[in-house]
Chain A
Amino acid sequence: MKCYDLNIKGNSYNCNKELILEAHRLGWDYFNLLFSPESYEKAIKYKNNLRDEIEDIIINNLRNKIGLEFGIEIHPKNQNELYKLTKKYRNKTKFISVLGGDLGVNRGVCENIQVDVLSRPYLNLPSCGINHVLAKEAVKNYVAIELCFNDILSSYLSYRSKIMAHFREIIKLHKKFKFPLIITSGASSIWEIRSPRDISAIFKYLDLFEDEFNNTIQNYPQKIIEFNNERENMIILGVKKI
């Protein structure tokens, strides 16, 4: 099985290398480093270098080749800003993820076909951030909703249990409406990386069972990546140049 991690916080060159090697040791195969729009342009220049160097180190490993991609994470304050930013960065990068945490922004993201991932919709909210309306929109526009493992790892006591309750709520909606759900580590240092099976063990007790979990770390990310590679040739959804 190939495990996709679509949210690793990007940092300096050495930091990224270390993070990816550690994650690869624990069983991940595909890494998507997320940068802020300002640091993305600097980072994209050394992407090929980084991939070559990592492949040199793990050349003896029998597992599949690793995948590496860089993406942009944007933090819009309102819906207007969201439309501007997505238009601006859609052609520059293959992966756009938007940080949620505001009901208006969450709604805007779910209705926007140019965005790939709505990251952490429950952030700083009393509720889980999505409802049946947003769930239906997300299915229509194929916007994935991301649960970040680092959120429960770095919090504790009441705050942690509240976030777990939000996860439960989102998983419940996922089972009913079948919108794409992805689970990521959200790691920014080597201390926050766990193996896929470990994360699966936790989500098992949040009502997300093994085959559903496999979808969230393999099938849905794969579909998103394939779709993004095709995006250049597509004119609208359903029409494609060959």
Chain B
Amino acid sequence: MKLKILPPTLRINKRYLVLDVKSEVKLSKDELVSAIWYGCLRLYGESETSAFNLWLIKFYDIADNNSNNHDINNKIINNDKKSINGKNSQYYHFKAVLRCQRGYEDKIRGSLSMLSNHNNKKIAISTIGISGTIASSIENFIN
């Protein structure tokens, strides 16, 4: 007998957040997932996070320009890669697509941007877009 699938009215509504991740060390997908969960659990606690329905869908490493990707036009503007004033200005740059439940986008956004370090390494996550499907999120915000 053919199994009945869940009717559309009962399915969970999803939204896809496009994240822009800066990190001091090279991140793997699993590390980013743990960082995201850590951030959400820290700000909203276990009961609230249970409703978030978090799932990391896609993970992109924006490899080539990890030293000067703050330049919008991908021009090389900072030829000397010396650290300025003892601060290291270089970072690794990633983008990711995160699935979450509809209606909780703002809470997730907030808790991700409140994350300043993970495993004693600096990390900065900011959300650059929200969309309803994976395809459109990639088309609009990653390419």
Contact = CB atoms under 8 A, between A and B. Distances in A.
Q: Do chains A and B touch in the complex (CB under 8 A)?
A: yes
A201 B124 contact: no
Interface residues of A, number: 32
A91 interface: no
Contact of B87 (A15, A24, A194): A15
B109 A21 contact: no
A61 B85 contact: no
A234 interface: no
A195 B122 contact: no
Interface stretch (A96-104, A132-140, A185-193): A185-193
A202 B113 contact: yes
Interface in B65-121: 70-73, 75, 77-78, 84-85, 87, 89, 91, 105-107, 109-110, 112-114, 116
B22 A25 contact: no
A26 B124 CA distance: 12
A195 B89 CA distance: 19
Interface string A193-213: 111011101101100000000
A22 interface: yes
A12 interface: yes
A116 B127 CA distance: 32
A14 B84 contact: yes
Contacts of A153: 114, 116
A125 interface: no
Contacts, number: 84
B105 to A, nearest CB: 8
A15 B107 contact: no
B25 interface: no
Name the residue among A15, A57, A201 with the largest chain B CB count within 10 angstroms: A201
Interface of B: 20, 22, 42, 70-73, 75, 77-78, 84-85, 87, 89, 91, 105-107, 109-110, 112-114, 116, 122, 124, 126-128
Given A22-B70, A201-B107, 7 more contacts: A26-B20, A57-B73, A57-B75, A58-B72, A190-B91, A201-B106, A202-B114
